[in-house]
Amino acid sequence: MILPKKLLSDETFHQAFLASYKAIVLIDRYQFTCTILDTTRKKFIYFFTHHSLTPLASTEIEHFFKQHFLSESELKKYIFYATTVVHSIPKSFSKNLTTETKKIILQSKHNNLLETNSLYNVYFIFNPITEYHSFISEQSNIVFLPHIHQLLVQASYNSQKSKHKNTIYIHLHHKHFETICLKDKNPELINIYDYSNEDDVLFYLHAIIQNLSLNIDDTFILFSGHIEKNNSLLKKCKDFYLKHDLINFNNSYIYSYRFNELKAYQYSTLFYLPNENY
């Protein structure tokens, strides 16, 4: 499945106002997606996405940055790398870790270690996508985060109004998926799995439910990312009596009418503005 390329721009979008905008950008090797929020009106006014069956070249990433105003210094940018080289630890454990220890934790030899605080006193250590990071790191006004951080933000926001005791959030990328399980409103699991087909996802889902001793009657699954409403994975969830749904837009914001073209669940994690003061 390849999602269509889209460019949506509200009539109110103007380059003269970039200083009052914030861009949220998702990058993995097969996808580049960005959206721009007008922070004055709390309205999303610009959106672009491009998906590929083959890994994106670094020159394509550079082109997307220049074409979609992301090279402009006035525009604040949150770059979310959808990387599998990411590890979460309690924030209290992170204070005395050396760079070498962090590399061991990540099982990585990469020198460009990135790290960030997150919600629930979680601390993420992660590697950037090497092929693209050299160019992107030269840009100004940027914050780097792992995409799974944004899934945690989404989970936290939705848990405040959820009636379910346990919720599993699954965001599917092209070749891996991220999952967060909130048990009694607190994170019980934060993990990333590789997959090659929908049965792999279902296998891991059952393993999560079993290993965390979740009662399926009290557990709800929310899907987002690289998925369609008629996906056989959703049908199989129904066959196994797993309560589930596709996640919708964040209703804290306004969206340009042009965003009506979007399937919200495919890009839902982009519509949350990260807090930099965790």
pLDDT bin (cut points 50, 70, 90) of residue 278 is low
Say what the pTM is: 0.93
> Which residue's structure tokens are 């009290």?
218
**What's the Cα-to-Cα distance from 69 to each of 73, 111, 129, rounded to whole Å?**
9, 29, 21
**Beta strands 254-255 and 43-51, pairing class:** parallel
Residue 45 has pLDDT above 90, yes or no: yes
Residue 137 contacts by C-beta under 8 Å, 6 or more apart in sequence? 112, 128, 144
Which pLDDT tens digit goes with each residue over 103-150? 787 877 777 889 999 999 999 999 999 999 999 999 999 999 999 999
Whether the CB-CB separation of 35 and 180 falls below 8 Å is answered with no
Residue 224's DSSP bridge partners are 171
pLDDT value of residue 258: 97
Residue 137 — φ and ψ, nearest 5°? -65, -15
Mean pLDDT of 239-248: 91
* Per-position b or e across 116-145, b if 16+ CB within 10 A of its CB: bebebebbbbbbbbeebbeebeeeeebebb
Looking at this protein, which amino acid is placed at residue 204? Answer: Y
Taken in order of first residue, the domains within the chain and their CATH numbers are 152-246 (3.30.420.260)
At 41, give phi and psi (nearest 5°). -100, 0
Q: What is the mean pLDDT of the chain?
A: 93
d(CA 71, CA 147): 21
Q: Using the 8-state DSSP alphabet, how is residue 272 labeled?
A: S
Q: What is the DSSP letter of 172?
A: E
DSSP string, 24-69: EEEEETTEEEEEEEETTTTEEEEEEEEE-SSPPPHHHHHHHHHHTT
Closest CA to 240 of 216, 275, 263: 216
Residue 275 pLDDT class (50, 70, 90 cuts): confident
Token pair of 15 as six digits? 């380059």
The whole-angstrom separation of Cα 186 and Cα 181 is 8
Q: Which of 202, 207, 214, 145 is nearest to 172 (CA)?
A: 202
Q: Are 221 and 205 in contact (CB under 8 A)?
A: yes
Residue 59: pLDDT over 90: yes
Q: What is the mean pLDDT of residues 258-273?
A: 95
Alpha helices in the chain (DSSP H): 58-67, 99-106, 130-137, 147-159, 198-211, 232-239, 264-267
Q: What's the confidence (pLDDT) of residue 108?
A: 74
Sign of CA dihedral 143, 148, 150, 152: negative
Predicted confidence at residue 276, as pLDDT, reads 66
